[in-house]
Structure 1
Amino acid sequence: MTRTAREISVYGYYHVVQKGCGGQLIFEDADDRIYLIRLLASKCRKYDVNIIAWCLMDNHIHLLLDDEHVHLSDCMHSVTTAYAMYFNAKTGRKGPVFQDRFKSVPILNDDQLLNCVRYIHDNPAKARIGTASLYRWSSFSEYMGYPGICMTECVLGLLGDSQRFFAFSTSGEPNRYCFRDGAHVSDIDALEFAQALLKPYEPHHLKDLPKAVRDNYIRTLKNEGFSIKQIVRLTGIGHCTIQKVKLDQ
């Protein structure tokens, strides 16, 4: 199968996601996570890639990387190869640890950059395993002054300081940014993304709006990659009604 070329960011920033093969766990304990963090630090230093944010989940990792010198693919290949060798040797398992090559989304402006950082740190809360500020395995604490592997200057420069970063990250406002692998919006991101798109309305308010207004909001969701089934679940509006709303040409 022919691989599609990666979309390039003229600014050099990328949101990178690497998943475990078949959704399997890629960490068994804290030592595994520490090993990967050290790998990320050493390999990114070797390939001149700067780490802006990171979060380690049970079966995937999120990274925001600054790839000014276009070494991202070599860097990620080196990280995943080294970690797979370590993990297989430790556990006695065989075969690939990671699923295919990594996915990446180019970051194109400052607003997207800030909301990507927030999105990455919010992953534990979405998975209901911890809040952004208390989760151990992310770069959130680095932005609050603890030493780590990130270059925090860019984000803190945009926001002002650590306290403003904390306020921005914990505001509770719905985040319009989500990781998009193609046009589809994942179920885990659908509600918050919809809330951001439909503000000041909640998704379930749409069924009570005048038809023209309602249809315009449905069109917005469809244009942003929401499936008909997702819109039905979010809004309570019938399948046939949503299907009849045409996309923008």
Structure 2
Amino acid sequence: MPRIARKKSRSGIYHVMLRGVNKQMIFEDDVDRIRFLETIKKYRDQYKYSLYGYCLMDNHVHLLLKEEAESVSESVKRISSSYVYWYNIKYDRYGHLFQDRFKSEVVESIISFLKVLRYIHQNPLKAGLTGSVFESKWSSVNEYFVKSDIVDIDYGLELFSNIRNDAIKLYKEYMGQPNDDECLDDHVRIRVTDSEVKDYLSEMGITHVSLLQQMDKEKRDLILSRLKEMNGVSIRQLSRVTGVSRSVINRVGQRDRWDVP
């Protein structure tokens, strides 16, 4: 069945979302995130598209950009292909990292632009990863009034006021407003922190991961099974926190489902 053509934006501005294939992690550490932003900047300088906002989550990315010399599809393809090539070399892997086709929506009005920009910036907040929209390390929210690195801030700020100080004040107020905005993906993955996993281990009497590693298999697997039941935890995260291999954690609980009488 042929694909439906991507809707063309009259303004040239699009809200783009790139998601990991099967919703897998696309950033393992901050080095990966920095590389992704460097890739965006590299191709922005070469092909002159405008970037108004971004947010890097663990398994997906939001971009607000305007196509210029080439289509948004071509620009996103350059960004994703370059990053995946680097990522696969770093982690000695092969194949796709992102879903085959990125999602996008057209942005053709001032109201839509501001709504999408706020939605992108509030992604970490609504996912429970930060206590404030301005605490996010991997979004462009603070570039609008601290230091603009890769984001074109003039267009967005001038929508608030032609006087820069007034524009920044109004921008901050708008970005911090609670809302029920829904854009491309309003189901934000809630993720627990490593500290929360460690706290749960402590509640079960495991004050140090070495205690877990020294347990007999039956007791260890019982603890791991309870950890896997935490809402928002990943196998990779549990392996990182506990020091137990992902293959072992993956197997925990699988046999139990068939052994229940």
**TM-score over 0.5 for the alignment?**
yes
CA deviations 1:129-176 (Å, max 9, x no partner) are: 11320110010110123131000111100112212110111122x244
CA deviations 1:167-221 (Å, max 9, x no partner) are: 111122x2444226xxxxx4459xxxxxxxxxxxxxxxxxxxxxxxxxxxxxxxx
Hey, what does 1:147 align to over in structure 2?
148
Farther-moved stretch of structure 1 (154-163 vs 24-33)? 154-163
Identity of aligned residues (%): 33
Indicate the SS of the match to 1:159. Answer: coil
**Amino acid in structure 1 at the alignment position of 2:171:** F
Query: Structure 2: which 5+ residue stretches go unaligned?
Result: 162-166, 190-261
CA deviations 1:67-119 (Å, max 9, x no partner) are: 13442111111111111111111011221011112111000100000010000
Cα pair distance change 1:71/1:47, threshold 3 Å: farther
Hey, what does 1:166 align to over in structure 2?
172
Residues 1:178 and 2:183 aligned together: yes
TM-score for both structures, normalised by structure 2: 0.67
User: Could you tell me whether the CA contact under 8 Å between 1:112 and 1:177 is conserved in 2?
Assistant: no
Q: 1-side partners of 2:98 and 2:174: how far apart?
A: 33
Hey, what does 1:220 align to over in structure 2?
none
Please, what is the CA RMSD of the aligned residues?
1.6
Following TM superposition, the consecutive aligned residue runs of length 4 or more in structure 1 with deviations greater than 2 angstroms are: 68-71, 186-189
Hey, what does 1:46 align to over in structure 2?
46
User: Could you tell me whether the CA contact under 8 Å between 1:15 and 1:106 is conserved in 2?
Assistant: yes
Q: 2-side partners of 1:64 and 1:139: how far apart?
A: 10
User: Could you tell me whether the CA contact under 8 Å between 1:11 and 1:68 is conserved in 2?
Assistant: no
Hey, what does 1:60 align to over in structure 2?
60
Aligned length: 183
User: Could you tell me whether the CA contact under 8 Å between 1:13 and 1:65 is conserved in 2?
Assistant: yes
Indicate the SS of the match to 2:159. Answer: helix
Q: 2-side partners of 1:177 and 1:117: how far apart?
A: 12
Q: 1-side partners of 2:29 and 2:7: how far apart?
A: 34
Q: 2-side partners of 1:110 and 1:70: how far apart?
A: 23
Q: 2-side partners of 1:187 and 1:179: how far apart?
A: 9
Q: 2-side partners of 1:16 and 1:121: how far apart?
A: 13
Q: 1-side partners of 2:72 and 2:188: how far apart?
A: 27
- Output aligned runs, 1:63-82, within 5 Å: 63-82=63-82
